[in-house]
Chains A and B, each alone.
Chain A
Amino acid sequence: MKRFALLFTFLVGGLLLWGSTDFPDWNDPESPASTYVSNLYITQAYEKTHVPNLVSAILADYRNYDTMFETTVVFTAGTAIFLILRLPLGPLARRRNTEHPEAEPQTLPRDPILEMACRVLFPPTHLFGLYVLTHGHYSPGGGFQAGVILGASFILLAIAFDLRATLSRLPEGLFKPLTALGVAFYVGIGVVCLLLGKNFLDYEGLRAIFSGISPQMIRSHGILLVECGVTVTVSAVIFAIYTNLVSRGNHREGL
């Protein structure tokens, strides 16, 4: 069976490599990927949105629905892990806690070097996350990456100290609603645009609120607004997944 699996792997791998010879050359101007809309984006995106990083402009303006539903997917993943792992209080919780006696919580001793390193690292990590979010218009970065970095900074706190101390700073009652609030903020921007007489997520509708801004700049600001929603959702989901995984859902003992 294992031999067959290996043979099959090599067969499919060879087929894929053989198929890749039909691809157009890299940097080929005649390739299908660079003949239809990408020319339009490359030539017009900066004039229409004033965002030098084309990836941000396409992600959060031209391909807005994709990003909105990606954020919803992240939220759904966090909620699914929450529903599977987070224990209800009561008899079910006690039963599931005694199922794996050999994998009972191992509390690790506290390490002063780790704690000091975390003290030094935590503020710059946080600041870097905010920088990645707000500078996503000009350099690589944006909502998703910023959210992961912010969530990881809280995970760092939970690893270096303990989970309970971190959860007292950032309680579940705070980060669990934040996972949904980020998505709601994103969709809310779209609904506001709709109510102000434009298409869903057409940021030019926001000019009625922020008066005196050019139609190009309002698209740039709209991108920043929706990226903020993405960041809130992703950071809260990353931290929620970590806390539920590491404590097997009871939020008592962490790594």
Chain B
Amino acid sequence: MTWVLDLFLLLFIAGTAVAALESRCLLTSSIILGAYSFMMCLVYASLGAVDVAFTEAAVGAGAGTVFFLATILRTGRKTSR
């Protein structure tokens, strides 16, 4: 039954990746990227690489999102398209 979980994760990862690219608001993009990192963390955990999953959760979803937010606060929220 693990293929159900894998399929769900794959769909969610692809969905969040496209949503982060297509969003016009950078704040939205960075929050969606945080969700993407959490999904990647679940993938690593389901593959048995718990250490990598831990690092992904701490660095990708935690620290990375905060760095994005700090940068957006000091620059601007809109993409120039």
Chain A residues in contact with chain B, CB under 8 A?
A: 53, 55, 100, 102-103, 106, 132, 140-142, 144-145, 148-149, 151-152, 155, 159, 238, 241-242, 245-248, 255
Q: Are A245 and B71 touching (Cβ within 8 A)? A: yes
CB distance from A101 to the nearest CB of B (A): 12
**How many angstroms between the C-alpha atoms of A247 and B50 in the bound complex?**
35
Among B53, B62, B69, the residue within 8 A (CB) of A255 is: B69
B62 touches A242 (CB 8 A): no
Given contacts A140-B50, A140-B51, A142-B51, contact A106 B58 (CB under 8 A): no
Query: What's the minimum C-beta distance from A82 to chain B, rounded to whole angstroms?
Result: 14
With contact pairs A140-B54, A152-B62, A152-B66 given, residues A103 and B71 touching in the complex (Cβ less than 8 Å):
no
The answer for the CA separation of A247 and B74 in the assembled complex, in Å, is 7
Q: Which 9 A-B pairs have the closest CB atoms?
A: A246-B70, A140-B50, A148-B58, A245-B70, A55-B51, A140-B51, A140-B54, A248-B74, A145-B58
* Residue among A103, A132, A148 having the largest count of chain B Cβ atoms under 10 Å: A148
* SS of B interface (majority): helix
| Smallest CB separation, A58 vs chain B (Å) | 10
Neighbour of A145 across the interface among B55, B74, B76, CB < 8 A:
B55
Chain B residues with CB under 8 Å of A242's CB are 66-67, 70
The majority secondary structure among interface residues of chain A is helix
**Contact-residue size bin, chain B (C-beta under 8 Å from the other chain):** 10 to 19
In the complex, A245→B75 CA distance in Å? 10
Residues of A near B59 (CB, < 8 A) are 144, 148
Per-position binary interface string of chain B over residues 42-81, scored 1 when its CB falls under 8 Å from any chain A CB and 0 otherwise:
0000000011011100110011001101110111100000
Give every chain B residue within 8 A of A148 (Cβ-Cβ): 55, 58-59, 62-63
List chain A residues, Cβ under 8 A from B70.
242, 245-246, 255
A208 to B18, CA, bound (A): 57
Q: Which residues of B contact A159 (CB under 8 A)?
A: 66
Contacts of B58 in A (CB 8 A): 145, 148-149, 152
> Of the candidates A55, A106, A140, A152, which one forms a contact with B73 in the assembled complex, judged by CB atoms under 8 Å apart?
A106
CB<8 Å pairs between A and B, sample of 19: A53-B51, A55-B51, A100-B75, A103-B75, A103-B76, A140-B50, A140-B51, A141-B54, A144-B55, A145-B51, A145-B55, A145-B58, A148-B58, A148-B63, A149-B58, A152-B58, A238-B63, A245-B67, A255-B73
Which B residue sits closest to A139, measured CB to CB? B50
Residues in chain B near residue A149, CB distance under 8 A: 58
Chain B contacts for A141, CB-based, 8 A: 51, 54
Given contacts A245-B74, A248-B74, 9 further A-B contacts (CB under 8 A): A140-B50, A145-B55, A145-B58, A152-B62, A155-B66, A242-B67, A245-B67, A245-B70, A255-B73
